[in-house]
Amino acid sequence: MPDERLPKRLFYGELQQGQRSHGGQKKRFKDTLKASLKAFSINPDTWEKSALDRATWRSSIHKGAKMCEASRTTAAELMRQTRKVRAINPPGDVPLVPCPFCVRTFRARIGLVSHLRTHRNSQPQQPPDD
């Protein structure tokens, strides 16, 4: 289809007037198509020529879809394994912070701070000397 035809100009068209919404530009069909072609390992510059031969195009699409799905599955499995390793082995030894008034210990200092606020509000005591 020639580039100056109306359907192609509308399909691949850019914004003529007005403003785009904040938070990034909206993707056009052409941008999405290019990203999909790259994911399927098809050259975005020559895809129209290769699409003219229907049998070759279908086989390249099916091969690309299999490769893309395999890489996506591999990446998802890798992320899942990383998450599991992090859950099993927490990063480093976390020093425990003891409360000077009672026997509770806290992993984070902010937990101790809010806990001490309850001690301060409930009973005015001095911490025991060790």
Domain total for the chain?
2
Q: Across residues 4-21, what is the average pLDDT?
A: 62
Distance CA 34, CA 64 (A): 14
One domain, residues 130 and 77:
no
- 101 with 80, same domain: the answer is no
Name the pTM for this structure.
Answer: 0.48
CA distance linking residue 59 with residue 33, whole number of Å: 18
Work out the pLDDT band at 120, boundaries 50, 70, 90.
confident
Give the residue, 43 or 14, on which the prediction is more confident. 43
Mean pLDDT of 39-48: 91
| pLDDT score of 10 | 63
Q: Of 13-17, 95-99, 122-126, which range is least confident?
A: 13-17
- Cβ(37)–Cβ(68) below 8 Å: no
Average pLDDT over residues 11-20: 60
| Among 96, 128, 120, CA closest to 104 | 96
pLDDT averaged over every residue in the chain: 82
Band of the pLDDT at 65, cuts 50, 70, 90?
A: very high
83 and 37, same structural domain? Answer: yes
The reported pLDDT for the residue numbered 42 is 92
- Determine the structural domain holding residue 48 and report its residue range: 29-91
The verdict on residue 11 lying in a domain is no
Same domain, yes or no: 79 and 55: yes
In a domain, 18, yes or no: no
* Nearest by Cα to 59 from 68, 69, 50: 50
Over range 96-103, report the average pLDDT.
87
CA distance 3 to 121: 75
Do 78 and 129 reside in the same domain of the chain?
Answer: no
